């Protein structure tokens, strides 16, 4: 059983948990994820490790209440216990001094990009971060991102804060003016697709972290398969990070839609396995 030590609502739909999970915290590296179950019959959901503290033995995660399980998870409070927490999973980010790096976090994707930006900064890179949200009320971790970046650009789709733009607008402006060695982008698939379309024009290596539907997360079920450069790869064991210019984003987005009717049934009290 894994205790929730801290709960913070970052917005109406976005929640942060610090979870007591010493073994995972000691081994976690930027880019890893973990799987949790809220109860014995619950579905397994993958969540990115947004931060970790090996001294305290905690991992931090930020999740959006979108489906039955994440809504159920949102009802947990400090002091409550999660049934299973397994990790760290997936390959960690490749960190070295690339030189000039731009980290792009869109929406909830700001949380997983944070430890990567921090690790890249610690490795000596010049890091510019771009964080974007639909609106000011759902933007989070501005100060945390500023703390691990040489420069921070904030965008909102509706112009309620920062620059009124999608994250790709300042990204393109940077690339038009200077040489960038690496872009790391995490957010909705459509954002990562358009980040990659932008960086392709300037031939800048782009790493994305994919959020495909996952079940066992050990490479056995094939549920998280994605197409990378025409080859089938499993996000859980081959990723979650891939060369963005090789990703078939249209297929990923199609597969992300595959269970929408079942998710709707589960949310409306049907027999989805995410509830009690
Ligand atoms: P969102 O729809 O609010 O979009 C966030 C930002 O992405 C926008 O503000 C905008 O700047 C940018 N964006 C969106 N569409 C774009 C486009 N067509 N072109 C350029 N930029 C665009 O994001 P959300 O509701 O927070 O969605 C979060 C998504 O991120 C979910 O799908 C979730 O599964 C995913 N996610 C992925 C990971 C991961 O590890 N890959 C981790 C957490 C969340």
Per residue in 221-235, pLDDT (tens digit) is 888 999 999 999 999
For residue 108, the CA-to-ligand 1 centroid distance in Å is 7
Ligand 1 touching residue 106 (CB < 6 A): yes
How far, in Å, CA of 84 to CA of 39, rounded? 8
| CB 150, CB 128: distance < 8 Å | yes
For residue 55, the CA-to-ligand 1 centroid distance in Å is 32
pLDDT band at 264 (very low <50, low <70, confident <90, very high): confident
89 Cβ neighbours under 8 A, 6+ residues apart: 32, 33, 34, 35, 46, 217, 236
Burial of 262 (0-12, 13-18, 19+ CB in 10 A): middle
For residue 189, the CA-to-ligand 1 centroid distance in Å is 7
Give the pLDDT confidence score for residue 269 in this predicted structure: 65
How far, in Å, CA of 256 to CA of 6, rounded? 30
| CB 188, CB 109: distance < 8 Å | yes
Q: Does residue 263 carry a pLDDT above 80? A: no
Question: Hunting for tokens 């990204």 — which residue is that?
Answer: 171
| CB 74, CB 15: distance < 8 Å | yes
Ligand 1 touching residue 172 (CB < 6 A): no
Q: Does residue 145 carry a pLDDT above 50? A: yes
For residue 53, the CA-to-ligand 1 centroid distance in Å is 26
Where is pLDDT greater, at 25 or 218? 25
pTM to 2 decimal places? 0.93
Residue nearest to atom 10 of ligand 1 (CA): 166
Pocket test for ligand 1, best of 145, 153, 188, 197 (most atoms within 8 A of CB): 188
The structural domains of the chain, ordered by start, are 2-89 (2.40.30.10), 100-256 (3.40.50.80)
């Amino acid at each position: 059983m894994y205790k929730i030590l801290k709960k913070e609502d970052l917005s109406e739909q976005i929640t942060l948990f610090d979870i007591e999970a010493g073994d995972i915290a000691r081994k976690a590296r930027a880019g890893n994820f973990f799987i949790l179950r809220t109860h014995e019959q619950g579905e397994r959901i993958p969540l990115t490790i947004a931060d970790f503290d090996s001294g305290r033995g905690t991992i931090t995660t930020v999740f959006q209440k979108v489906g039955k399980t994440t809504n159920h998870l949102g009802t947990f409070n400090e002091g409550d216990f999660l049934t299973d927490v397994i990790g760290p999973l997936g390959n960690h980010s490749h960190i070295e001094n690339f030189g000039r790096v731009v980290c792009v976090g869109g929406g909830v994707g700001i949380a997983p990009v944070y430890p990567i930006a921090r690790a890249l900064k610690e490795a000596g890179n010049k890091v510019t971060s771009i964080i974007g949200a639909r609106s000011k009320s759902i933007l989070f971790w501005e100060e945390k991102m500023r703390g691990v970046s040489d420069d921070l650009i904030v965008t909102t789709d509706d112009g309620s804060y920062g620059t009124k733009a999608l994250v790709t607008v300042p990204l393109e402006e940077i690339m038009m003016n200077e040489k960038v060695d690496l872009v790391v982008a995490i957010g909705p698939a459509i954002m990562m697709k358009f980040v990659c379309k932008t960086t392709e024009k300037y031939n800048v290596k782009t790493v994305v972290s994919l959020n495909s539907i996952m079940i066992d997360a050990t490479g056995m079920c094939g549920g998280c398969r994605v197409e990378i450069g025409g080859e089938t790869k499993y996000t859980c064991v081959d990723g979650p990070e891939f060369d963005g210019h090789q990703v078939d984003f249209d297929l990923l987005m199609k597969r992300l839609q595959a269970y929408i009717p079942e998710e709707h049934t589960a949310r409306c009290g049907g027999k989805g396995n995410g509830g009690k």
